[in-house]
């Protein structure tokens, strides 16, 4: 008997945004096996671009979202080429650096453009306040609609599912399994790595735009490494390389802190304890590399009494 | 297997605790207020101080019979200092707990995110600690019982020009902080208006530890006053390094300095500095003396600035409730807007048309390891 209040809608909205972020990061970290810590940076690009376009330029929400996402995509593509030559820890550090650059660029954007414009004598043509630096960007037009958020979440999941199942997706997955082996099979690893990085960035940009228009106030500090790690947590918890796992991870990690509200200041003590317990019991994530549909299929077959698990699928953990 | 069953049992106990922990509350006999504060996370110290201040004021009011014949009850929610979490907490308090008004939050970015939720639900939201100018611009239902960054910056400039009698000033600002930037801009504008000259501005970032290059640069063009709108952790280091470099300027700061830890960290390097803030524990007013005594009795410590601001906020809300005559959010909003000359430990509060408190700033001077009250100003 739960009455749907605007509190529930609020939580549902963040859940939807987190789903988009987690699923898109999973393409990079899970399927392609490229450990990125820079997802919040792309989210920031999408959020700021879309917010500036709707507020200062009066663009419609959908176009602004697309513009923000495309800019994030372009950044992903451009910066992915040099950055993705790195591997493992080095890649993680470089992607972290990338998101820091985005954040610092947003904070100093106005000063730099103003000074550059003054140098060439165009100071009257350039607006004084574009990103408003550290003061944050307030009063963004409100778009509080779950239809937009879940519409985008659906589109994200659908597109990523299709990518993963396509021949390109198989190539991407093979890089995640063993990059050297993939290369020896003639797969252009650099191309697919960059592509998956940029596609992930695109949807992070979408999520950023949705977030900005829901909360109506953004600040560069919101897109720090903490945010990237929060998204990474959802991916790892759900299972690297499982799209439905990421959805589940996003749902669980959005709801958990809300359920823990009754503990007041102990909330952030209990939350990590639960995370540790989860990772101890299921180090491969909630769903591992499997999809929910596979697991349900196995359970269904078992319940029907048609013998053991399907070939190729290890038995579902039966605690 | 044993490990798994232990873990499973632990998880079951935690889940059980979750279900049972929902407190049972009596309905209708109390007036419910919600408070959204950073009880965890990086700025939790301010959240806990706010909680102490609110609890003390509520206990005092309830001991005297409450408001409108009912006891006040405050439901606390944590926002971790994270704006997205503030929107959730505000929304939960309004929809699930049906509170009459919301108190908080501490960080301006949190209040800026939470206030639109309260405003569109027509529930008053009152903050005691978010000084960013934009906060009350969110809407008709958002109030603030402290002064704003631009007032604080301008007052600092006034103190520099009139009390320290400086002709030249330099600034050290944190480029990534909205607070630092807002204060710096207001200071520069007011100081120029008062006939002073800004001789230089250098910047740093939160968590920096070495400021020698910036300070050396400032030493080249000596200013009478160096204004540092920042928080005490970095400020203490800046003051220490400035002393080592033998910079002779008078240092001046704002409420971000106002914490006993500044004196602990900077030691004698803080001597001779001026601080513009909300409140002083040795100001001789009956309100301050009463608060200091109550804090010693209840918490065995002196009230810090956030304690005092949170304490005063509850009295502002209680006063408005009495004048409204009924526990109704709309009536409370109108009464809050009409708040006039309500005396508190942090000065007397009058709501202006922008729903900000018009009140005096307190000037402190550090002498012999203590922050001493100099005067109460309103330029």
Q: Are residues B55 and B124 in contact, defined by beta-carbon separation less than 8 angstroms?
A: no
Q: Which residue of A has its CA nearest to B48?
A: A265
pTM: 0.80
Whether A22 and A153 share a structural domain: yes
Cβ pair A134:B181 closer than 8 A:
yes
Residue A96 lies in a domain: yes
Whether A194 and A310 share a structural domain: no
**Range B292-306 average pLDDT:** 92
Would you say residue B162 has pLDDT above 60?
yes
Hunting for tokens 């706010």 — which residue is that? B50
As given in the structure block, the two tokens for residue A175 are: 């890089």
Min distance B75 CA to chain A CA atoms (Å): 10
Residue A110 lies in a domain: yes
Q: Is beta strand B361-367 parallel, antiparallel or unpaired with respect to B225-227?
A: unpaired
- Domain carrying residue A143: 6-288
A 10 A CB-CB count for A268 gives: 16
**What proportion of chain B, given as a percentage, has pLDDT over 90?**
65
Whether A117 and A263 share a structural domain: yes
How far apart, in whole angstroms, are the C-alpha atoms of residue B344 and residue B340? Answer: 12
Cα–Cα distances (Å) from A157 to A15, A162, A296, in that order, read 14, 9, 18
**Between residues B258 and A289, which one has the greater pLDDT?**
B258
Q: Which one of B14, B96, B134 has the shortest CB-CB distance to A274?
A: B14
**Range B1-21 average pLDDT:** 51
Domain with CATH 3.40.50.2300 in chain B: 30-147+285-359, 150-277
**Range B323-344 average pLDDT:** 92
Whether A262 and A127 share a structural domain: yes
Detail the DSSP E strand segments found in chain B: 30-37, 71-78, 101-104, 125-127, 142-144, 168-174, 197-204, 225-227, 250-253, 274-277, 342-344, 347-351, 357-358, 361-367, 370-377
Hunting for tokens 């240092």 — which residue is that? B251
Q: Which one of A5, A216, A261 has the shortest CB-CB distance to B77?
A: A261
Q: Which one of A107, A108, A270 has the shortest CB-CB distance to B14?
A: A270
Q: What is the CATH number of the domain that holds A195?
A: 1.10.3470
Backbone CA torsion sign across A227, A231, A237, A240: negative
Whether A249 and A300 share a structural domain: no
Q: Is A229 in CB contact (< 8 Å) with chain B?
A: no
Q: Which residues of A touch B36 (CB under 8 A)?
A: none
Domain spanning B150-277: which CATH class is it, in words?
alpha beta
Cα angle B329, B332, B334 (rounded to 5 degrees) comes to: 115
Helix axes A6-26, A243-259, angle to 10 degrees: 140
Q: Is A216 in CB contact (< 8 Å) with chain B?
A: yes
How far apart, in whole angstroms, are the C-alpha atoms of residue B177 and residue B231? Answer: 10
Whether A165 and A310 share a structural domain: no
How far apart, in whole angstroms, are the C-alpha atoms of residue A276 and residue B54? Answer: 35
Whether A166 and A315 share a structural domain: no
Helix (H) or strand (E) holding B311: helix B305-324
| H helical segments located in A120-188 | 146-165, 167-177, 179-184
A 10 A CB-CB count for A97 gives: 14
Q: Which residues of B touch A319 (CB under 8 A)?
A: 4, 8
Average pLDDT, chain B: 88
Among B82, B116, B125, the strongest candidate for a mutation testing the A interface, having the largest count of A CBs within 10 A, is B116
Q: Which residues of B touch A259 (CB under 8 A)?
A: 18
Please tell me whether the interface predicted TM-score (ipTM) of this complex is above 0.95: no
Whether A21 and A108 share a structural domain: yes
Taking CB atoms within 8 Å and a gap of at least 24, the contacts of B194-198 are: B194/B157, B194/B158, B194/B161, B194/B162, B195/B161, B195/B167, B196/B157, B196/B160, B196/B161, B196/B166, B196/B167, B196/B168, B196/B169, B197/B167, B197/B168, B197/B169, B198/B168, B198/B169, B198/B170, B198/B171
Whether A87 and A219 share a structural domain: yes
Residue A57 lies in a domain: yes
Q: What is the residue-level pLDDT of chain A in tens, covering all 319 positions?
A: 456 778 888 899 999 999 999 999 999 999 998 989 999 999 999 999 999 999 888 899 999 999 999 999 999 999 888 888 888 888 989 999 999 999 989 988 887 777 777 777 777 777 777 777 777 787 788 888 899 999 999 999 999 999 999 988 899 989 988 888 998 988 888 899 999 999 999 999 999 999 999 988 888 888 989 899 999 999 999 988 889 999 999 999 999 888 888 887 788 888 888 888 888 888 888 888 888 888 888 888 888 765 544 444 444 444 3
Residue A303 lies in a domain: yes
Residue A224 lies in a domain: yes
Whether A304 and A202 share a structural domain: no
As given in the structure block, the two tokens for residue A219 are: 């600040």
Residue A54 lies in a domain: yes
Confidence of residue B22 (pLDDT cuts 50, 70, 90): very low
How far apart, in whole angstroms, are the C-alpha atoms of residue A301 and residue A34? Answer: 35
Number of domains into which chain A is organized: 2
Superfamily of domain B30-147+285-359: Response regulator (3.40.50.2300)
Q: Is A116 in CB contact (< 8 Å) with chain B?
A: no
As given in the structure block, the two tokens for residue B131 are: 């000084």
Q: Which residues of A touch B132 (CB under 8 A)?
A: 135-136
Confidence of residue B77 (pLDDT cuts 50, 70, 90): very high
Min distance A128 CA to chain B CA atoms (Å): 14
Whether A104 and A80 share a structural domain: yes
Q: Which residue of B has its CA nearest to A106?
A: B176
Q: Is B284 exposed, middle or buried (0-12, 13-18, 19+ CB in 10 A)?
A: exposed
Q: Which residues of B touch A268 (CB under 8 A)?
A: 40-41, 78, 80
Q: What is the pLDDT of residue A77?
A: 92
Residue A1 lies in a domain: no
Q: Closest Cα to residue B309, out of B61, B49, B123?
A: B49
Helix (H) or strand (E) holding B265: helix B260-266
Would you say residue B29 has pLDDT above 90?
no
């Amino acid at each position: 008997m739960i009455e749907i209040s605007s509190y529930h809608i609020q939580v549902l909205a963040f859940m939807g945004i987190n789903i988009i972020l987690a699923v898109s990061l999973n393409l990079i970290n899970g399927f392609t096996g490229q450990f990125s810590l820079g997802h919040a940076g792309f989210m920031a690009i999408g959020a700021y671009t879309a917010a500036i376009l709707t507020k200062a330029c009066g663009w419609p929400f959908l176009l602004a979202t697309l513009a923000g996402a495309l800019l994030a995509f372009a950044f992903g593509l451009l910066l992915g080429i040099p950055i993705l030559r790195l591997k493992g820890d080095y890649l993680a550090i470089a992607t972290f650096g990338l998101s820091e650059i985005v954040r610092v660029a947003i904070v100093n954007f106005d000063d730099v453009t103003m000074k550059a414009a003054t140098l060439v004598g165009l100071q009257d043509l350039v607006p004084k306040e574009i990103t408003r630096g550290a003061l944050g960007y307030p009063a963004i037009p409100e778009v509080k609609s779950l239809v937009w958020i879940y519409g985008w979440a659906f589109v994200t999941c659908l597109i990523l599912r299709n990518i993963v199942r396509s021949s390109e997706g198989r190539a991407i997955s093979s890089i995640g399994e063993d990059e050297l082996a993939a290369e020896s099979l003639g797969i252009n690893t650099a191309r697919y790595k960059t592509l998956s990085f940029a596609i992930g960035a695109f949807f992070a940009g979408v999520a950023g735009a949705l977030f900005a228009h829901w909360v109506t106030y953004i600040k560069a500090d919101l897109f720090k490494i903490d945010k990237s790690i929060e998204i990474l947590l959802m991916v790892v918890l759900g299972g690297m390389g499982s799209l439905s796992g990421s959805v589940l991870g996003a749902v669980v990690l959005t709801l958990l802190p809300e359920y823990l509200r009754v503990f007041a200041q102990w909330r952030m003590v209990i939350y990590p304890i639960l995370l540790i317990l989860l990772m101890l019991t299921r180090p491969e994530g909630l769903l591992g590399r499997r999809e929910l549909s596979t697991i349900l299929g196995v359970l269904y077959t078992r319940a029907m009494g048609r013998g053991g698990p399907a070939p190729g699928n290890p038995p579902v953990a039966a605690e | 297997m044993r490990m798994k069953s232990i873990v499973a049992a632990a998880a079951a106990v935690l889940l059980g605790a979750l279900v049972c922990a929902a407190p049972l509350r009596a309905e209708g006999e109390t007036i419910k207020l919600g408070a959204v504060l950073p009880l965890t996370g990086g700025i939790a110290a301010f959240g806990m101080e706010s909680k102490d201040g609110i609890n003390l004021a509520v206990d005092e009011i309830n001991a005297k019979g409450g408001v409108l014949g009912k006891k006040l009850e405050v439901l606390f929610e944590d926002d971790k200092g994270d704006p997205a979490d503030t929107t959730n907490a505000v929304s939960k308090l309004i929809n699930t707990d049906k509170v009459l008004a919301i108190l908080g939050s501490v960080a301006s970015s949190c209040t800026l995110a939470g206030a639109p939720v309260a405003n569109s639900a027509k529930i008053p939201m009152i903050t005691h600690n978010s000084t960013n100018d934009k906060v009350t611009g969110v809407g008709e239902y958002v109030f603030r019982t402290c002064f704003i960054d631009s007032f604080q910056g301008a007052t600092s400039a006034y103190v520099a020009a009139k009390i320290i009698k400086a002709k030249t000033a330099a600034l050290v600002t944190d480029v990534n902080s909205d607070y630092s930037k807002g204060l710096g801009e207001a200071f520069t504008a007011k100081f120029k208006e008062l006939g002073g000259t800004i001789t230089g501005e250098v910047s740093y970032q939160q968590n920096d530890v070495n400021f020698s290059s910036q300070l050396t640069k400032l030493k080249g063009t000596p200013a009478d006053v160096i204004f540092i709108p920042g928080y005490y952790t970095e400020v203490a280091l800046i003051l220490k390094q400035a002393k080592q470099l033998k910079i002779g300027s008078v240092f001046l700061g704002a409420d971000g300095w106002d914490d006993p830890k500044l004196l602990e960290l900077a030691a004698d390097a803080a001597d001779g500095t001026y601080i513009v803030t909300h409140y002083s524990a040795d100001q001789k007013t009956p309100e301050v003396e009463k608060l200091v005594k109550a804090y010693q009795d209840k918490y065995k410590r002196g009230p810090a600035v956030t304690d005092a601001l949170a304490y005063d906020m509850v009295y502002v809300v209680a006063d408005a409730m009495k004048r409204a005559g009924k526990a109704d959010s709309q009536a409370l909003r109108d009464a809050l807007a009409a708040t006039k000359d309500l005396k508190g430990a942090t000065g007397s509060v009058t709501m202006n048309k922008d729903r900000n408190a018009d009140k005096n700033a307190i000037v402190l001077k550090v002498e012999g390891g203590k922050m001493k009250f100099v005067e109460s100003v309103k330029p």
